């Protein structure tokens, strides 16, 4: 009986532990010092967006993550993913600084159809709703180098991170100086 209880416990514990872990990634290559900030925030690694971290002495670390779904594991698909993610990551930096313009429109159409079959009236009410939401980011940002690449655990999503360390005026600082 004790052996059965211990065996059941050994089966249940790894499953509970696996559920409490942050999402996993594969093929993770992140440059220092960006690695410690990205690995400390797995949600940023998974959902993307831009983050500004104050480092002290007026310096700031800027990192922006973008992702795209991979169709296959070919070199041309990897190149497409890089081309898609880079502008998305830069757009996140601009959105962080200037905001995002959102336009939302709704169109509703209601119809009532009356049908007479064998002298009995039947009424049908039909409603159509079309909702369109567009977001727009515009602005100018300095280009930043790629500081990291990784994939989702299943290898289906490619992530790219760009980043820089800037002084209080927003000018890039050499990475060796900042460490």
Give 30-85 pLDDT, tens digit per residue. 999 999 989 888 888 998 899 988 988 889 999 999 999 999 989 999 999 999 99
Beta strands in the chain (DSSP E): 25-30, 49-56, 59-69, 101-117, 120-136, 146-152, 157-166
Paired with 61 in beta bridges are: 53, 165
Share of the chain above pLDDT 90, in %: 36
pLDDT score for 96: 81
Give 110-154 pLDDT, tens digit per residue. 888 888 888 888 888 888 888 888 877 777 777 899 999 999 999
Q: Binning pLDDT at 50, 70 and 90, where does residue 175 land?
A: low
Residues shown for the chain? 179
pLDDT score for 23: 57
d(CA 158, CA 72): 11
Give 92-113 pLDDT, tens digit per residue. 988 887 777 778 788 888 888 8
pLDDT(19) > 90: no
Nearest to 149 by CA among 162, 131, 164: 162
pLDDT score for 176: 60
Read off the pTM.
Answer: 0.67
Nearest to 136 by CA among 94, 100, 104: 100
To the nearest whole number, what is the mean pLDDT of the chain? 81
d(CA 71, CA 8): 40
d(CA 72, CA 86): 19
Residues whose CB falls within 8 Å of the CB of residue 93, separated by 6 or more in sequence, listed in order: 50, 62, 64, 141, 144, 162
pLDDT score for 147: 95
């Amino acid at each position: 009986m004790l052996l059965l209880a211990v065996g059941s416990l050994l089966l249940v514990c790894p499953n509970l532990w696996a559920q409490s872990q942050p999402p996993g990634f594969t093929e993770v290559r992140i440059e220092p010092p960006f690695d410690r900030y990205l690995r400390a925030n797995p949600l940023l690694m998974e959902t993307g967006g831009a983050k500004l971290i104050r480092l002290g002495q007026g310096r700031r670390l800027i990192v922006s993550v973008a992702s795209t779904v991979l169709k296959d594991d070919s070199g041309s698909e990897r190149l497409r993913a890089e081309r898609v993610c880079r502008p998305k990551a830069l757009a996140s930096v601009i959105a962080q600084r200037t905001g995002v313009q959102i336009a939302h429109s709704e169109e509703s159409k209601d119809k009532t159809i009356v049908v007479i079959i064998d002298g009995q009236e039947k009424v049908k009410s039909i409603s159509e709703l079309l909702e369109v939401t567009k977001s727009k980011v515009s602005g100018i940002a300095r280009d930043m180098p790629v500081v990291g690449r990784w994939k989702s655990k299943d290898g289906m999503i490619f992530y790219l991170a760009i980043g820089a360390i800037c002084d209080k005026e927003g000018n890039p600082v050499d990475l060796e100086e900042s460490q």
